[in-house]
Chain A
């Protein structure tokens, strides 16, 4: 609900005349639920920023959060929510900081002992503050979504390097949990690397995979099958003893896929096999 001009004016007067009392009370109330993660001084700095901008906006005659005159106020609020989102505060903690202004005004303006007019003003102001808080909430959600998207992208980029270990041998070291999306990316990159480097050997190293369940095994098996269709052979390496136990317990069959305990063993195996190919072809050429 928008304020009318008089209500807006009266709020401005209150905020200006009793600025110090309100900002002190606001900071105090705002810092209370944050349980020491933000000191009163820090909370005060943030609320003071908001208060100054709010005063400026009201002075400019704004009666509504969505109006053009409130653009700067919205910018300050978004900046504040973004900061809180990045620092790891919850949405509630962020919104209550803004809502604390209600308590501050209630105490400072003496609404409890005030007449009917004061009460009516107070109701209008609180609904205005609610709007501010809702806006904060929305900015917070947007900021968090952006953070999640960024992290997802970074994770995908980081998590799937395909490295050439030796002539004709490429390796993909898997780190972290393997879900369907990642498994798909890993599979595509590995197969493309096989083509690009012309390698007939690929080593899938699962040292960095914390747990192997049937789903992860399924993804690995699919990758191996696809590589075989393209004419390359895969070795699975980096199986820790606990994981070997899990694999057996789950009854996962790796069939005729070569598995090795360490990446070094896998590389040795690949070199030996391609070495024997080389020896044979040399013998034939001789």
Chain B
């Protein structure tokens, strides 16, 4: 069975779904992602669904579950690149993907996560340290 690759980019895990999601794949992703968040200690997850033509109720619910799991593990999930047709279908189905944050594309998703880190005053600790050291006389 195919697995969805999870890439670590800086403080963010990037999941790019390129093929149509089977139910098994969605469940596998849910498990893998939880494990990776714990392993890497990342605080942001971006799921790119640009390649998805169809999001059915199961995949929609799985995305919701993944977001909830991530939140428990102290990571923010952002779903990016949803196609207009997919968005319309989800709304018509009455699925609002509760608890999921969204962004237009990966770039904006990254910005959103960075801003959130900023707001929480949780910019990457080593980065802040450097900053302060360079400022101090």
Measured CB to CB, the residues of A under 8 A from B are 187-188, 191-192, 194-195, 198-200, 222, 225-232, 277, 280-281, 284
Contacts and interface: CB of A to CB of B under 8 A. Distances in A.
Contacts of A200: 103-104, 108
6 smallest beta-carbon distances between A and B, as pairs: A191-B84, A231-B103, A231-B102, A226-B87, A229-B87, A231-B104
Interface residues of B, number: 26
A284 B124 CA distance: 12
Contacts of B80: 231
B104 A281 contact: no
A284 B101 CA distance: 22
B97 interface: yes
A281 B111 contact: yes
A198 to B, nearest CB: 6
Interface stretch (B37-45, B68-76, B88-96): B88-96
A264 to B, nearest CB: 25
Contacts of B101: 231
A200 B102 CA distance: 10
B105 interface: yes
Contact of B118 (A188, A225, A227, A284): A284
A226 B104 contact: no
Interface string B85-128: 01110111000110001111100110100110010000100000
Nearest to A280: B115
Given A194-B104, A280-B118, A284-B114, A225 B91 contact: yes
B108 A192 contact: no
23 contacts: A187-B88, A191-B84, A194-B104, A195-B83, A198-B104, A198-B108, A200-B103, A222-B91, A222-B92, A225-B96, A226-B90, A229-B87, A229-B90, A229-B97, A231-B78, A231-B101, A231-B102, A231-B104, A231-B108, A277-B111, A281-B114, A284-B115, A284-B123
Nearest to A227: B87
Contacts of A187: 84, 88
Contacts of A222: 88, 91-92
A191 B104 contact: no
A192 B115 contact: no
B115 A229 contact: no
